[in-house]
């Protein structure tokens, strides 16, 4: 008899399992339909010995002391600082767009005028969404915004979402910024890096507890019928849990093509974006993130695609008013189930970074444990 059946062994499920087992002494069964723990953060060594992220690049970053201190109990960090370029007309442009990027996109006179106008309008060390820049009253900034939109964001977004930036919600387009500062670090968080030994060992440590049983390759419905438990934490898709009675929630998915080369370096950065007509959005070079010392290097071409249930993985909830209304109906149904807690990117139909998934799990545990926060 288990206190909790936790469906899904990604960060949300694994952190909740660890807290409930190690702090509250509860008996936990955690299952995952995939043949491994770790969710989309799962990594492994390929046949050439290169540590590869199976589901795309995962760089940990957070401003939260609590989240960083918690997860650092299960790993050391390699100190990697994430830098990304967009390849525009065969020229690397630092991302996110900042004052350095302007030097690559415009001639020196234009870049200087645009930089001065940006700082004058928005101040130093701030950011503005590119769509807001296009609507700025300053004609210099409007024109610059249109160039940045077309060359950096439009085609990339179209490939990623099959929607243009103007068709997406502001919560997404706000992630298309222009920074009024210099420096090409992709994240500005207080903490960032990759786990020294990879992500998979983190999950092994999180779940290494006599009060936790782990079963992979088992869908939730099978576990539900097979085992006895008091309560459920469900991190899968809400529409699937309720048998799609309110309709299906759409997602975007990804496909990866990996190649290995017998040389130490393939490209300048760990991640290079291609905001052009190529079918892939970016190329990842893993050893530049993991800082692993290997004779060869493994890269991955990343292709966005439509999510098809049973054929690929759901990565990104598609934020739209229509989809939010569907999810709200499922949320109302979920609220009526006292013995089931829904949490995670799929259950909440919300894009979470890894630190946000951990933070969500810690908050839920605080509530379960009756802690005042």
User: Residue-wise pLDDT tens for the chain (373 aa)?
Assistant: 999 999 999 999 999 999 999 999 999 999 999 999 999 999 999 999 999 999 999 999 999 999 999 999 999 999 999 999 999 999 999 999 999 999 999 999 999 999 999 999 999 999 999 989 999 999 999 999 999 999 999 999 999 999 888 787 776 766 678 999 998 789 989 999 999 999 999 999 999 999 999 999 999 999 999 999 999 999 999 999 999 999 999 999 999 999 999 999 999 999 999 999 999 999 999 999 999 999 999 999 999 999 999 999 999 999 888 999 999 999 999 999 999 999 999 999 998 999 999 999 999 999 999 875 4
Give how far Cα 216 sits from Cα of 10, 30, 36, 38, Å: 12, 8, 6, 11
pTM over 0.75? The answer is yes
Angle at 252 between CA 290 and CA 346, to 5 degrees: 80
- DSSP E strands: which ranges in 210-250? 212-216, 229-234
Q: Report the pLDDT value the prediction gives residue 174, as an integer from 0 to 100.
A: 67
Count Cβ neighbours within 10 Å for each residue of 36-68 and write b for 16 or more, e otherwise. ebbbbbbbeeeeeebbbbbbebbbbbbebeebb
d(CA 54, CA 69): 26
Q: How many Cβ atoms from other residues are within 10 Å of residue 261's Cβ?
A: 13
pLDDT at 163: 86
pLDDT given for residue 254 in this prediction: 97
Domain ranges in the chain? 2-37+207-250+317-369, 44-83+186-194+251-306, 93-179
Domain 2-37+207-250+317-369 has CATH 2.60.40.10: no
β-bridge mates for residue 178, sequence order = 97, 128
Q: How much is the pLDDT for 372?
A: 54
Q: Kindly give the residue spans of alpha helices, DSSP state H, lying in 200-338.
A: 200-206, 220-226, 238-241, 287-290, 321-335
Chain CA centroid to CA 37, Å: 17
Q: What is the pLDDT of residue 175?
A: 67
């Amino acid at each position: 008899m288990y206190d909790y059946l936790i469906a899904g062994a990604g960060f949300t499920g694994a952190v909740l399992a660890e807290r409930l087992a190690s702090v509250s002494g509860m008996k936990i069964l955690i299952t995952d339909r995939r043949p491994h723990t770790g969710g989309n953060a799962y990594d492994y060594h390929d046949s050439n010995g290169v540590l590869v992220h199976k589901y795309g690049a995962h760089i940990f970053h957070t401003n939260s002391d609590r989240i960083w201190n918690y997860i650092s109990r299960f790993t050391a960090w390699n100190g990697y600082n994430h830098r990304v370029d967009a390849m525009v007309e065969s020229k690397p442009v630092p991302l996110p767009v900042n004052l350095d990027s302007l030097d690559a996109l415009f001639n020196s006179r234009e870049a200087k005028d645009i930089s001065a106008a940006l700082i004058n309008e928005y101040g130093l060390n701030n950011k503005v969404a590119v769509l807001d820049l296009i609507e700025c009253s300053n004609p210099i900034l409007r024109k610059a915004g249109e160039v940045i939109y077309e060359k950096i964001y439009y085609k990339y977004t179209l490939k990623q979402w099959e929607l243009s930036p103007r068709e997406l919600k502001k919560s997404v387009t706000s992630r298309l910024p222009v920074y009024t500062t210099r420096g090409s670090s992709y994240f500005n968080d207080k903490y960032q890096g990759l786990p020294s030994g990879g992500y998979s060992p983190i999950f092994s440590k999180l779940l290494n507890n006599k009060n936790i049983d782990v079963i992979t390759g088992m869908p939730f419905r099978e576990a539900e019928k097979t085992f006895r438990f008091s309560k459920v934490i469900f991190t899968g898709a809400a529409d699937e849990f309720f048998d799609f009675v309110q309709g299906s929630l759409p997602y975007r998915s990804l496909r990866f093509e990996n190649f290995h080369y017998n040389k130490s370096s393939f490209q300048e950065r760990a991640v290079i974006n291609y905001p052009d007509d190529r079918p892939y959005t970016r190329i990842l070079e893993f050893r530049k993130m993991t800082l692993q010392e290997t004779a060869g290097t493994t890269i991955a071409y990343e292709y966005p695609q439509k999510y098809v249930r049973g054929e690929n993985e759901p990565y990104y909830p598609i934020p739209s008013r229509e989809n939010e209304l569907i999810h709200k109906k499922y949320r109302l149904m979920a609220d009526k189930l006292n013995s089931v807690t829904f949490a995670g990117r799929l259950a909440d139909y919300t894009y979470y970074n890894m630190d946000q998934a951990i933070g969500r799990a810690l908050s839920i545990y605080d509530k379960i444990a009756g802690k005042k926060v």
